[in-house]
Amino acid sequence: MMHIGGQVPDLEFDIYYQGAFSKLKFSDLVNKWIILLFYPADFTYVCPTELVEAAEYYEEFQKLNAEIVSISTDTMYVHKAWHDQSPTINKIRYPMAADPTRTICNLFGTYIEEEGLSIRATYIINPEGIVKAYDVHDNSIGRSTEEILRKLQASIFVREHNGEVCPASWKPGKKTLKKGIELVGKI
């Protein structure tokens, strides 16, 4: 299972993206932050609420040099059918990865053997391919894209500001801490 500080291997996988079938490798996203959104399955109830919320924030992620990739155990053909059938899912402009072999889900520890599905999880990976944050929870609980964006902003900040760290609920422009618990910046 991938963990904080782990190097993501350069896997290749099928995607449905911009109306076409294609392949993507993690190395294709070199020098970008990667947000992996693991979800149980297409044509479900909670998943479209999360995926469309991520689509609504997609430009904000792109401004931060980040790419969102959603991943389920469905095939790319099922992703296309869902995209074509659902006006909600049709709003998605980021790659939808297919993992029917469960390779990626197994690597990241999200695969639920008994169900043949992925658990709901989010991974933030830095431009060097290192896992910086992840969040895993029950499939009945939808995630917050605002919180994923906040975690990405904090990850970028600490990468660019050596020796500073972000306290609880930190947002850009708020005070940070230096090692030694000294507040830095404006309130």
pLDDT, tens digit, 9 for 90 and up, residues 131-148: 999 999 999 999 999 999
As given in the structure block, the two tokens for residue 71 are 């991943």
Q: Cβ atoms within 10 A of the Cβ of 9, count?
A: 12
Catalytic residue annotation:
47
Q: Where are the domains of the chain?
A: 12-143
Spatial separation of the C-alpha atoms in residues 156 and 93, rounded to whole Å: 23
Which one, of 54, 90, 57, lies nearest residue 70 by Cα? 54
Regions in the chain scoring below 70 on pLDDT? 179-187
Please identify, in words, the CATH class of the domain defined by 12-143: alpha beta
Contact call for residues 131 and 4 (beta carbons, < 8 A): yes
pTM over 0.85: yes
Cβ-count burial 49-65 (b if 16+ within 10 Å, e if not):
ebbbbbbeebeebeeee
**What pLDDT, on a 0 to 100 scale, did the predictor assign at position 187?**
44
